A and B are shown apart, each in its own frame.
Chain A
Amino acid sequence: MAVAQQAKQDLTESRITALDLPQGGVWGNAARADALARLRAMGLPTRRDEYWKFTDPTSLTQVAAPRAALFEAKDEGPIFDGVDRLRVVFVDGVFDPEQSDDLSLSGVEIERLSDAMARDIHWAREFYGKLETAGQVPVVRPLAALNTAFAQDGIVIRATGKAEKPVSIIYLHRSENSDAILHHVVRVEEGAELTVLENGPAAARFNKCMEISVADRGTFHHLRAQGRDHERRAATHMFARLGEESVYKSFTLTVNGVLTRNEHVIELTGDDAIAHVAGAAMGDARTHPYHHDDTVFITHDAERCESRQVFKKVLRNGAEGVFQGKILVKPGAQKTDGYQISQALLLDEEASFQAKPELEIYADDVKCSHGSTTGAIDETALFYLRARGVPRETATDLLVLAFIDEAISEIEDERLANDIRVRLQMWLERRRRG
Chain B
Amino acid sequence: MLTIKNLHVKLEDEDKQILKGVDLTVEAGKVHAIMGPNGSGKSTLSYVLSGRDGYEVTDGSATLEGEDLLEMEPEERAAAGLFLAFQYPVEIPGVGNMTFLRTAVNAQRKARGEDEISAGDFLKLVREKAKTLKIDAEMLKRPVNVGFSGGEKKRNEILQMAMLEPKMCILDETDSGLDVDAMKLVSDGVNALRDAGRGFLVITHYQRLLDHIKPDVVHIMADGRIVKTGGPELALEVEKNGYADILNEVA
A in complex with B: yes
Contacts of A2 in B (CB 8 A): none
Contacts of B94 in A (CB 8 A): 399, 401-403, 405-406
Minimum CB distance partner of B101 in chain A: A388
- Neighbour of B104 across the interface among A378, A390, A405, CB < 8 A: A390
Chain A residues 369-389 with CB under 8 Å of chain B are 378-381, 383-389
- The stretch that binds A, out of B1-9, B60-68, B70-78, B238-246, is B70-78
- What count of chain B residues pass the 8 Å CB interface test? 29
- Neighbour of A392 across the interface among B52, B75, B108, CB < 8 A: B75
Instruction: Judge whether B185 is part of the interface by a CB distance below 8 angstroms.
Output: no
Instruction: Judge whether A391 is part of the interface by a CB distance below 8 angstroms.
Output: yes
Q: Tell me if A394 and B74 are in contact (CB < 8 A).
A: no
Q: Tell me if B89 and A394 are in contact (CB < 8 A).
A: no
What are the 5 tightest A-B residue pairs by CB atom distance, in nearest-first order? A402-B94, A389-B78, A389-B108, A388-B104, A384-B90
- Neighbour of B53 across the interface among A381, A383, A394, CB < 8 A: A383
Q: When A379-B53, A405-B94 are in contact, do A387 and B84 touch as well, CB less than 8 Å?
A: yes
Instruction: Judge whether A398 is part of the interface by a CB distance below 8 angstroms.
Output: yes
Contacts of B84 in A (CB 8 A): 387
Most chain A Cβ neighbours within 10 Å, of B50, B84, B92: B92
Q: Tell me if A394 and B95 are in contact (CB < 8 A).
A: no
Q: Tell me if B103 and A398 are in contact (CB < 8 A).
A: yes
Contacts of A402 in B (CB 8 A): 92-95, 143
Question: What are the interface flags for A107-126 relative to B under an 8 Å C-beta threshold, 1 for contact and 0 otherwise?
Answer: 00000000000000000000
- What count of chain A residues pass the 8 Å CB interface test? 23
Minimum CB distance partner of A381 in chain B: B92
Contacts of B92 in A (CB 8 A): 378, 381, 384-385, 399, 402
Quote the shortest CB–CB distance from B47 to chain A (angstroms). Answer: 9
Give Cα A386 to B75, complex, Å. 5
Instruction: Judge whether B164 is part of the interface by a CB distance below 8 angstroms.
Output: yes
A-B Cβ contacts below 8 A, count: 78
Minimum CB distance partner of A402 in chain B: B94
Q: Tell me if A389 and B79 are in contact (CB < 8 A).
A: yes
Q: Tell me if A391 and B53 are in contact (CB < 8 A).
A: no
Q: Tell me if A386 and B78 are in contact (CB < 8 A).
A: yes
Q: Tell me if A391 and B100 are in contact (CB < 8 A).
A: no
Quote the shortest CB–CB distance from A429 to chain B (angstroms). Answer: 13
Q: Tell me if B103 and A383 are in contact (CB < 8 A).
A: no
Residues in B lying within 8 Å of A, measured CB to CB: 50-53, 73-75, 77-79, 84, 86, 89-95, 99-100, 103-104, 107-108, 111, 143, 160, 164
Contacts of B53 in A (CB 8 A): 379, 383
Q: Tell me if B103 and A394 are in contact (CB < 8 A).
A: yes
Q: Tell me if A387 and B74 are in contact (CB < 8 A).
A: yes
Give Cα A387 to B77, complex, Å. 8
Give Cα A390 to B52, complex, Å. 14
Q: Tell me if A388 and B95 are in contact (CB < 8 A).
A: no
Give Cα A387 to B104, complex, Å. 9
Give Cα A383 to B75, complex, Å. 9
Contacts of B164 in A (CB 8 A): 388-389
Contacts of B93 in A (CB 8 A): 402
Q: When A387-B84, A394-B107, A399-B95 are in contact, do A381 and B75 touch as well, CB less than 8 Å?
A: no
Q: Tell me if A383 and B74 are in contact (CB < 8 A).
A: yes
Give Cα A264 to B78, complex, Å. 47
Minimum CB distance partner of A406 in chain B: B94
Minimum CB distance partner of B88 in chain A: A380
Quote the shortest CB–CB distance from B10 to chain A (angstroms). Answer: 19
Most chain B Cβ neighbours within 10 Å, of A383, A394, A401, A403: A383
Contacts of A395 in B (CB 8 A): 75
Q: Tell me if B75 and A391 are in contact (CB < 8 A).
A: yes
Quote the shortest CB–CB distance from B241 to chain A (angstroms). Answer: 36
Give Cα A386 to B107, complex, Å. 10
Quote the shortest CB–CB distance from B157 to chain A (angstroms). Answer: 10
Q: Tell me if B104 and A389 are in contact (CB < 8 A).
A: yes
Q: Tell me if A390 and B107 are in contact (CB < 8 A).
A: yes
Give Cα A378 to B91, complex, Å. 11
